[in-house]
Structure 1
Amino acid sequence: MTNGLDDVVAAETVLSDVDGAKGRLVIRGHAVEDLAAGWAFEDVVHLLLEGFVDGLPAGEDLRSAIGSARLGVFKRISPHLAALRDLEPVDALRAGLSLLADGDDLDTALQLVAAPAVITAARLRMGAAKTPVAPDPANTHSADFLRMISGRPATAHAASGLDSYLATVSDHGMNASTFTARTVASTQAGLGSAAIAGLCALKGPLHGGAPGPVLAMLDAIATPQAAHGWLAEALARGDRLMGFGHRIYRVRDPRADALKQAIARLSSDEELAGRIALAEAVETAALDLLRTAKPDRSLDTNVEFYTAALLEALGFPAQAFTCVFAAGRVVGWIAHAREQAMTGRLIRPQSRYIGPAPQIAA
């Protein structure tokens, strides 16, 4: 028995397969690298939800439906925005999701897909003493997410970069938040309950990861020339190097390369190019030092390292990184929730009691 349920198969799924030994992630028949290289987020939504949500449109019809859902979410949460202003972004997202419907139909699914972008953007603008920007249903989801944050139209490269990120994190096997969402869905609770439960699990630092601390590390190192010395000192102190190592992957996390390629497409800006050069120098130095310092452990680049660089380049503050993660993963939660609900089985594992026995009266 293992308290973390490692290697326990809890469900059969058609949605994704994680092969940690080979460094491979397959999402419904497609390598994650292929999705990140050019799929729009709307196409990933169709890929994951097809067959699980009745009446799901495709192509431009789905893009339009998600756009309309963004507008519907904005109208629903607008009367409550003042109450979200002082919450941390992830807490504001959780509260905002609770205002939405909790069914299992197409409208509920699309509102949940749309909501993280709308709520996160509104909360960030209010936190900066700016007025929330209403969605534009004519935009793609990624372009509108960026526009709702900055107040300006997104460039094609930026929208494509966010598409790559959302596709990359859309699903990842039976992780903690996905298992939580499936467990809630197995009780016949609605999709809203399953998504909120998934978000609550994602909020925990052992699952949501460390892209924020990656930025702090890059800021502290500051220049490519300082990378090796700074990292060597950190390892000598026993510090963990943020963005390296993964519980599942024993080789390089395939999502790291997908995001590295996505950020490279944004590198025409001189300041951004410098930041990318710093990240690459830190990665090279860290991998060299880790191979020497910990030869018995597989500590390669994980998704968090280039997540930090990419989301920073797209204009997201570190405090919102978990919300942006949720904006991609929510479609996976919905798909898994529907897949579980369609089995009709309640998830009810056993436990082994190891506490004291009752005292028997003499």
Structure 2
Amino acid sequence: MGVLKEKGPIEYSKGLEGVIAALSSISAIDGKNGKLIYRGIPIEMLAKYSTYEETAYLLLYGELPTKEALEKFSAQMRELRVIPKKVEECIVELPPNPHPMDILKVALAHSALYDPDRQKCCREGVMRKVIRIIAQLPTMIAYYHRARTGQEVIPPDPELSHAANFLYMLHGKKPDEEEARIFDIALILHAEHGLNASTFAAMVTASTLSDINSALLSAIGALKGPLHGGANERVLKMLDEIGSPDKAEEYVLNALKEKRRIMGFGHRVYKTYDPRAKILKEYAEYLSDKYNDRKYIEIGERIENIMIRELGKKGIFPNVDFYSGIVYQFLGIPRDLFTPVFAMARSVGWAAHVCEYTANNRIFRPRAYYIGPDYVEYVQLEKRR
């Protein structure tokens, strides 16, 4: 609903850019200096020493777990990976051609009907629902991919980590420790990133005191949009279009001249190199050498050099999407699953913000400034032309 016109100039923030809508202790971004922290811990330290399970615990509970607490939390995650049989049947019977993000929405909505904690609103019940969702999203994604390609679904392996288990269910073979660790790091880097569009969507839904499944469904819907999720998929498409490093300069300069966007560059918050991109670039380099296939990394590095030369002074640098697609490609993850994998990782950040905000809840209710006419006479239908 708009508000009636007021006298004098009206200040507003389109898209709520820069508006502080909540207080949070979950993460902080220093866009000027390229820093990202989860609960005060630099992302570089978590990527070097932590695991996705430990990072999830940190984000949800506010502190690093003890060894005993981490073992208990990890065991709970492994136990809850198995989805209800009815949900499995729903997933494998879905048509093979929709975007996997739509499938993820259907699967998560369906699973809510069989959640044993669906009626519980206490903190313990909500946290079990949260952990169950985080644990089951990888199963849903892997089951759908196996089913749509005519392969038998592979049940979760309770002996494998969160990252390794997803790759196992996706490919039908256990990944080597190196690849499992690289994917684990990628999940850590995508786990949380402040009040982005999908996180805000989850918080808006949760602020009505709706359930956690509905909140995360809102987040998945927002993430599906091409301005938020899926940029790494489009980065690879761009690299394929360019074809070789020697064609990168012409492509980039023509795109800039025509005001076309170079995917994987620039960020609403970062005005320098995205710290997550720095880490992922190292692993993209490593995997390129490991598999003796440097096509993508060489084109990517050439694009990076040109973009920094042309637009670095304007604060345009690689973001997390630019090198993550190359990493996922080497890990054998299909391109149209890149955004569902993003959702799988970010689910913990969404849930952490929902739990934090609703602990001291106030329903979101921004307003719009009305710029329409002050009065329009109603004309009876038979007199309209």
Global fold match (TM > 0.5): yes
Q: How do 1:167-316 and structure 2 match up within 5 A?
A: 167-291=188-312, 295=313, 297-316=314-333
Displacement of 1:276: 2.8
- 1: distance between equivalents of 2:86 and 2:75? 18
Shift of 1:12: 0.2
Moved over 6 A (4+): none
Cα gap change, 1:272 to 1:58, in 2 (>3 Å): farther
* 2:81–2:156 contact (8 Å) kept in structure 1: yes
In the other structure, the counterpart of 1:11 is 22
Letter in 2 for 1:116: L
Of 71, 77, 87, which residue of structure 2 is paired with 1:66?
A: 77
| Alignment CA distance shift 1:230-1:347 (3 Å) | closer
In the alignment, is the contact (CA less than 8 A) between 2:203 and 2:215 conserved in 1?
Answer: yes
CA distance in 2, matches of 1:254, 1:159: 21
For the pair shown, the structure with the greater C-alpha radius of gyration is: 2
Q: Does 1:99 align with 2:134?
A: no
Deviations 1:73-109 (A, max 9, x none): 2645212123434332111101110122345523211
Match of 2:88 among 63, 67, 78: 78
Q: CA RMSD in A?
A: 2.2
Deviates more, 1:216-225 or 1:98-107: 98-107
The reply to whether residue 116 of structure 1 matches residue 137 of structure 2 is: yes
Unpaired segments of 5 or more residues in structure 1? none
Residue among 127, 146, 154 paired with 1:133: 154
Q: Secondary structure at the match of 1:25?
A: strand
Match of 2:55 in 1: 44
Distance 1:354-1:348 versus aligned 2 partners, 3 A rule: same
Q: CA deviation at 1:323?
A: 0.2
Q: Which range is displaced more, 32-41 or 321-330?
A: 32-41
How far residue 258 of structure 1 moved from its aligned partner, in angstroms, is: 1.9
Contact in 2 for aligned 1:161/1:266 (Cα 8 Å): no
| Correspondences of 1:126-165 after superposition (within 5 Å) | 126-165=147-186
Equivalent of 2:335, from 305, 318, 322? 318
Q: Is the 8 A contact 2:304 2:317 kept in 1?
A: no
Whether the 8 Å CA contact 1:272–1:313 is kept in 2: the answer is: no
CA contact (8 A) 2:91 2:103 kept: no
Q: TM-score, normalised by structure 2?
A: 0.85
Task: Say whether the 8 Å CA contact 1:142–1:162 is kept in structure 2.
Answer: yes
- Tell me the SS of whatever aligns to 2:228: helix
Q: TM-score, normalized by length of structure 1?
A: 0.90
CA drift at 1:358: 4.2
Query: 1:74–1:283: structure 2 CA closer, same or farther, 3 Å change rule?
Result: farther
Aligned residue in 2 for 1:345: 362
Name the amino acid aligned to 1:356: P
Query: Quick one: which amino acid aligns to residue 165 of structure 2?
Result: D
State how many pairs are aligned.
352
Preserved contact between residue 92 and residue 148 of structure 2 (Cα < 8 Å):
no
Per-residue displacement from partner, 1:95-140 (whole Å, max 9, x unpaired)?
1101223455232111110122111111111222212111112210
Structure 1 residues 255 and 51, CA gap change in structure 2 (3 angstroms): closer
Matched with 2:7 is none
